[in-house]
């Protein structure tokens, strides 16, 4: 039997978790052919096939599945042991992977991370922008960012940034041609820019009427999948948009957008950064959490 390398098992787990060589290669920053060579060497060393490969998918054989069930906890223990050793270093090190929706990345996570990297030179951070609700443990992330109602019960969550507020905006050109609604109920008579979640559902617009919540399903000819595109459409005079206040504020200040229905806009919950309660955070993760707790959001860049 050829000698076995520990990193070969880590590659095997990554390929199964990511669902293929290409996705695993992107995650690890290497080529697909390099991972393929590693897997071929591992299967040759063990003398048994671990993966079934087709043109469209990769999935474990029975032997691969059995090995995977044993490997995942063992590799977790190894990572924990390395994290415990890392505590003895003068400065935390390692890589943190964080999954977060684009608006949270744009306005809260990036300013925080940029400053954190200055303070902790030996830590690397990978941010994946994704609005879909995922299992961060299964997908190999150290932490995720979502609204509170989207968090699993076995997660520890910390507020990320101040409370949120959505703004209803339109360009002066749109208002000049079509007027502006005086109540949320009048939005049905306007061309609204709709946004669809990755799962397929449309984003509904929330309002507050004397303490009572109102939910409006916008109508309009244009549907997009990102807040950036929704803002672009509003700036181009293509309709009324519903975007986070942080996106709209600079354009309201310059007069390119006008905020509508300001008396009806509710304050929303924070974003939350969350991580699994069953896993002891690494030294790098603990440093990041401590840094986030003390971060001055009012002075963010």
What is the C-alpha separation between 215 and 208, in angstroms, rounded? 9
Domains and CATH numbers, the chain: 6-85 (1.10.10.10), 91-162+270-294 (3.40.190.10), 166-264 (3.40.190.290)
- The neighbouring-strand residues paired with 164 are 268
Q: Per-residue pLDDT for 299 more than 80?
A: no
Q: Per-residue pLDDT for 90 more than 70?
A: no
Residues 6 or more apart in contact with residue 279 via CB below 8 angstroms: 76, 80, 137
Q: Per-residue pLDDT for 110 more than 90?
A: yes
Mean pLDDT of 100-125: 92
254: which 2 tokens? Answer: 């310059």
CA-wise closest residue to 236 among 156, 170, 184, 189: 170
Q: Which residue has the tokens 């961060």?
A: 136
pTM: 0.65
Residues 6 or more apart in contact with residue 300 via CB below 8 angstroms: 108, 111, 112
Q: Per-residue pLDDT for 226 more than 70?
A: yes
């Amino acid at each position: 039997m050829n000698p076995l390398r520990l990193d070969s098992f880590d590659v095997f787990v990554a390929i199964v978790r990511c669902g293929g060589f290409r996705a695993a290669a992107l995650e690890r920053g290497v080529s697909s052919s390099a991972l393929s060579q590693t897997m071929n060497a591992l299967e040759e060393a063990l003398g048994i096939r671990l993966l079934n490969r087709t043109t469209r998918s990769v999935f474990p054989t029975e032997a691969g599945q059995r090995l995977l069930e044993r490997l995942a906890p063992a590799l977790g223990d190894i990572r924990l042991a390395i994290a415990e050793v890392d505590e003895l270093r003068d400065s935390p090190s390692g890589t943190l992977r964080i999954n977060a929706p684009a608006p949270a990345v744009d306005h809260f996570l990036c300013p925080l991370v940029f400053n954190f990297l200055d303070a902790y030179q030996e830590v690397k951070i990978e941010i994946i922008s994704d609005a879909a609700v995922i299992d961060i443990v299964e997908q190999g992330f150290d932490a995720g960012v979502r609204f509170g109602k989207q968090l699993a019960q076995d997660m520890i969550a910390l507020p990320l940034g101040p409370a949120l507020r959505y703004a209803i905006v339109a360009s002066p050109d749109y208002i000049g041609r079509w007027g502006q609604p005086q109540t949320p109920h009048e939005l049905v008579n306007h061309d609204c820019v709709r946004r669809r979640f990755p799962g397929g559902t449309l984003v509904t617009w929330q309002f507050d009427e004397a303490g009572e919540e109102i939910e409006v399903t916008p109508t309009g000819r244009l549907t997009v999948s990102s807040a950036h595109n929704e803002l672009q459409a509003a700036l181009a005079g293509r309709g009324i948009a519903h975007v986070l206040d942080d996106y709209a504020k600079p354009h309201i200040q310059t007069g390119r957008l006008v905020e509508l229905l300001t008396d009806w806009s509710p304050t929303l919950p924070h974003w939350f950064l969350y991580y699994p309660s069953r896993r002891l955070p690494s030294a790098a993760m603990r440093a990041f959490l401590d840094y986030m707790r003390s971060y001055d959001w009012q002075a963010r860049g």
